[in-house]
Amino acid sequence: MYSGEQQQKPVTVATLADMKSRGEKIACLTAYDASFATLLDECGVDVVLVGDSLGNVIQGRATTHPVTMNHMVYHTRAVRGGLERAFLIGDMPWMSFRSESAAARNAGRLMAAGASMVKLEGGGYVADVTAHLVERGVPVCGHLGLTPQWVHKFGGFRVQGKTESAAEAMRREALRLQEAGAELLVLECVPAGLAERVSGELAIPTIGIGAGPGCDGQVLVVYDMLGLTPGKRPKFSKDFTGTGGGVRGAVTAYVEAVRQGAFPGAEHSF
């Protein structure tokens, strides 16, 4: 665990790289407003993600596709207002980075709203877009595995990388994103063994969600870990409210579980 003095120092890209090199787990949660952002910051969350998951948990949409740049800019600015220490990542919504010029324009909007890094879903051409942004001073987080913006192409929310060929393709895409300049990589809903292998091969930190304990950090949608999401909770999530102490206690318990390697367990992995 960090000391109180260390917790007050702002988290940077270099901080996250150092945490990987020291084997310290990175705790990440989503937030969409200043109040939650302040609470997460005070509880020691290292990375706050303004996810386009707001389309699901804030707007009640079936997919993230209806989320616009205006939505992302609004929520990123709100979350930035509540942070002092945590590193802030803003999602690039569906079709906002379909070309290098569109990506640069929209990434600029998120950075101006307060993001310290932008996240792009997918492999393939995304590596070229990543390189274009990095060359212009925009820090980039990649996102492989189950990428919700590609849900219709996948035919649903399904685990990715289960076959040998699919696993090798994902491994190559991860390396390509790193070579393009990505400084962080989210791995979502992939077999735990594959995620651990990719994490070991990459120099940059990996953040898992439904990717087992072998990643360098973990992320959950904050409403999932508070048991607030309607319907069945995702297999890879856990309701931390049973630990006591209200919302603050639940977030603190999550951070400690990630840091200690107690979460995720086998029951949260594929």
Q: Tell me how far apart the alpha carbons of residues 68 and 133 are, in angstroms, rounded to a whole number.
A: 20
Task: Tell me the mean pLDDT in the region 51-76.
Answer: 96
Q: Sorting pLDDT into bands at 50, 70 and 90, what band is 146?
A: confident
For residues 158 and 215, the model is more confident at 215
Task: Tell me the mean pLDDT in the region 111-126.
Answer: 96
What is the sign of the dihedral through the CA atoms of 237, 254, 192 and 16?
positive
Task: Tell me the mean pLDDT in the region 37-59.
Answer: 97
Q: pLDDT tens for residues 33-43?
A: 999 999 999 99
Residue 4, pLDDT score? 46
pTM of the model: 0.94
Residue 151 has pLDDT above 60, yes or no: yes
Strands 26-30 and 47-50: parallel
Inter-residue contact 88 to 46 (CB < 8 Å):
no
Q: pLDDT tens for residues 242-265?
A: 988 999 999 999 999 999 999 999
Which one-letter DSSP state was computed for residue 215?
S
Question: What residues are labeled active site?
Answer: 188
User: Where is average pLDDT lowest: 80-84, 167-171, 234-238?
Assistant: 234-238
Task: Tell me the mean pLDDT in the region 59-73.
Answer: 95
Residue 1, pLDDT score? 40
What's the angle, vertex CA 179, arms to CA 137 and CA 47, rounded to 5? Answer: 60
Residue 160, pLDDT score? 85
Task: Tell me the mean pLDDT in the region 124-136.
Answer: 96
Three-state DSSP at 239 gives coil
Q: At what angle do helices 126-135 and 164-180 cross, to 10 degrees?
A: 20
3-state helix, strand, coil in the chain (%, to 5): 45, 15, 40
Residue 144 has pLDDT above 60, yes or no: yes
CATH number at residue 105: 3.20.20.60
Q: pLDDT tens for residues 183-199?
A: 999 999 999 999 999 99
Count of structural domains within the chain: 1
What is the sign of the dihedral through the CA atoms of 161, 164, 169 and 172?
positive
Residue 59 has pLDDT above 80, yes or no: yes
User: What is the extent of the structural domain holding 87?
Assistant: 4-268
Q: Sorting pLDDT into bands at 50, 70 and 90, what band is 3?
A: very low
Q: Sorting pLDDT into bands at 50, 70 and 90, what band is 7?
A: low
